[in-house]
Structures are given as C-alpha cells and as structure tokens.
C-alpha cells in the first residue's frame, strides 16, 4: 500500500494523458504520505466526467482522487493504515523502504526500465 501513491509523480506524458481524461487532477506532484493526509482531511463527492469516467472531488472541485484511492477509505483495514500514514510520515517512509526493498530483492532488469 505504501507504493501506490507513486502515481502522483509519473512521467510527463502520462500526466498529460491523465489531465486530459481527469481534469481535476492536480498538476502539483505530491509525496506519498501527503496523499494519505489529503484523503483523510477532505470531504469527497463523486464526479462523473464528460468522458464517462468516475472520479472523486473535494468540495471546491480542485483536488481529485481515483476510485482506487477512495477504496482505501471504504475498507476498514486499509482505512486504519491510511490514518496511520496521514499522521505519521516516518511510519510511511519506514514501510515504503521495506516494501520497495522487497521489490528490489525480486530483481529489476535495469535494461527494461529505460
């Protein structure tokens, strides 16, 4: 779960495509732990876009979240973790480092990453 927020710092082309399909997507990249704080501090409403896609927006329609983001709040076990990360960024960094380390242990073909 600590690796999920990386969506907010994707490549420029991916961000352009996302912004075309999800106009409320903030153009300001967020750090992973900030995503959890934003999730817990805002009130969200469903917003169906002209292209038929669903997103969730804050009261002022300035910030959006994907349905996958909101699923963290709807599941009691994930919600507990979201609340921990929203309040304790050191815990987020610790868990992220551990999860990322496990991914690296599985091996990364550096040639495929480029």
Closest of 55, 46, 71 to residue 23, by C-alpha: 55
Domain, as residue range, for 54: 4-113
| pLDDT tens profile 54-93 | 888 888 888 888 888 889 888 999 999 999 999 998 998 8
Alpha-carbon span 9 to 75, nearest angstrom: 25
- Domain containing residue 85: CATH number: 1.10.420
Residue 77: predicted pLDDT: 94
CA atoms within 13 A on the CB side of 12: 0
| pLDDT tens profile 88-109 | 989 988 998 998 888 888 886 6
Number of domains into which the chain is organized:
1
């Amino acid at each position: 779960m600590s690796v999920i927020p990386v969506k907010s710092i994707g490549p420029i082309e991916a961000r352009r495509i996302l912004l075309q399909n999800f106009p409320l997507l903030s153009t300001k990249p967020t750090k992973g732990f900030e995503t959890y704080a934003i999730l817990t501090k805002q009130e969200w409403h469903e917003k169906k876009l002209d292209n038929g896609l669903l997103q969730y927006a804050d009261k002022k329609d300035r910030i959006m979240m994907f349905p996958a983001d909101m699923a963290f709040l709807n599941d009691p076990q994930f919600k507990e973790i979201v609340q921990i990360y929203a309040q304790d960024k050191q815990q987020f960094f610790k868990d992220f480092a551990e999860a990322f380390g496990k991914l690296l242990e599985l091996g990364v073909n550096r040639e495929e990453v480029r």
